Amino acid sequence: MADYLVKALAFNGQVRAFAVDATQTVAQAQQRHDTWHTSSAALGRTMVGAILLGYNLKDKEKLTVIVDGNGAGGKIVVDSNGQGHVRGYIQNPKVALPLNNKGKLDVRGAVGTSGTLTVRKDLGLKEPFSGQVPIIDGELGEDFTYYMAVSEQTPSCIGVSVLVDTDDCIRTSGGFMVQVMPGATDETISEIEQRVQKMPQISDLMDSGCTPEEILEWVLGKENIKFLDKLPVKFQCDCSRERFEAGLITLGKEELLTIKQEDNQAEVVCHYCNDKYHFTAEDLQRLIDCL
Ligand SMILES: [Zn+2]
């Protein structure tokens, strides 16, 4: 089934909630970047977080999440937009750390715990919005939760998950976000807290076939939820040959001449999707001629 984000209200509007199945989106990222298991989990969890944090983006409005915690994976950068398009990369795709003391993928080791989580939102205004918090945990769910509380003043509970198979393929990936609106009663909050403590891990739920709607039912109780709309989600990069051509042109005439003379061609790789664009000597000459 194709990936999607589902939006819901609960407890008569006291709570806003979102859940996403991002299995195929994260699988695309894993295949494109050929990531090893710990890198896959760190990149995938960041992708799920970026989808959840982008819950209110419209159309081409864009959000970028930068996780820079000085871990083994290096920097992680993910973009998501209001059309449900997500793309991203991890600086060191080939990280496969030993499992942590809970027998799980050591996401904290890949992410690191001495650095920052930055979120930039381009909402088509003059200045993009930007918020930054220190990385407090490194497993990312708590880090996204902390970001929402501190930077966006929205008390939330966020869970992000990636289950990697023994052959490095992505078995499941997804997550949820619950936001408590001003005016929510203590009773509602404590009911959600109790439910979250008691619920199985998201990866186990998804592995047994749970949909995003069913994940929210675990978190909030079936009788309390009103589902709103769904947004299809997929890995999609907006890079193009034209864009990289424009990038080459900015190098200037001399630099392009040097590349042409030394390499007789140029290959440009998109960081986000790993697509390669090849420029022949003739292509380079054409660019030089326009300068
Ligand atoms: Zn690309």
Q: What spacing in Å lies between the alpha carbon of 137 and ligand 1's midpoint?
A: 30
Tell me how far CA of residue 57 lies from CA of 64, 83, 85, in angstroms. Answer: 12, 8, 11
Residue 184 Cα to ligand 1 midpoint, Å, equals: 42
pLDDT at 105: 96
Type of residue numbered 197: Q
Query: Is a pLDDT exceeding 90 seen at residue 184?
Result: yes
- Using the predicted structure, report yes or no on whether residue 60 has a pLDDT greater than 90: no
| Residues above pLDDT 90, as percent of the chain | 96
pLDDT, residue 138, reads: 98
Q: Which residue has the higher pLDDT, 112 or 183?
A: 112
Q: Using the mean position of ligand 1's atoms as its centre, give its distance from the Cα of residue 35 in Å.
A: 16
Ligand 1 center–CA 273 separation, angstroms:
4
* Residue 40: predicted pLDDT: 98
Task: State the pLDDT at residue 1.
Answer: 77
Mean pLDDT of the 117-130 span: 91
Q: Residue 239 C-alpha to ligand 1 middle, in angstroms?
A: 4
Confidence of residue 125 (pLDDT cuts 50, 70, 90): confident
d(CA 89, CA 28): 11
- Tell me the CA–centroid distance for residue 87 and ligand 1, in Å: 8
Q: Is the pLDDT of residue 124 over 90?
A: no
pLDDT at 290 over 90: no
What distance in angstroms lies between residue 83's CA and the mean position of ligand 1's atoms?
16
Q: What percentage of residues in the chain have a pLDDT greater than 70?
A: 100
Question: Quick one: pLDDT at residue 127?
Answer: 85
Q: Amino acid identity of 30?
A: Q
* Distance from residue 236's CA to the centre of ligand 1 (Å): 8
1-52 tens-digit pLDDT = 799 999 999 999 999 999 999 999 999 999 999 999 999 999 999 999 999 9
Ligand 1 centre from 237 Cα, in Å? 5
Confidence class for position 161, pLDDT limits 50, 70, 90: very high
How many angstroms does the Cα of residue 67 sit away from the middle of ligand 1? 19
Query: What's the 84 CA to ligand 1 centre distance in angstroms?
Result: 16
CA of 271 relative to ligand 1 center, distance in Å: 7
- 214-257 pLDDT per residue, tens: 999 999 999 999 999 999 999 999 999 999 999 999 999 999 99
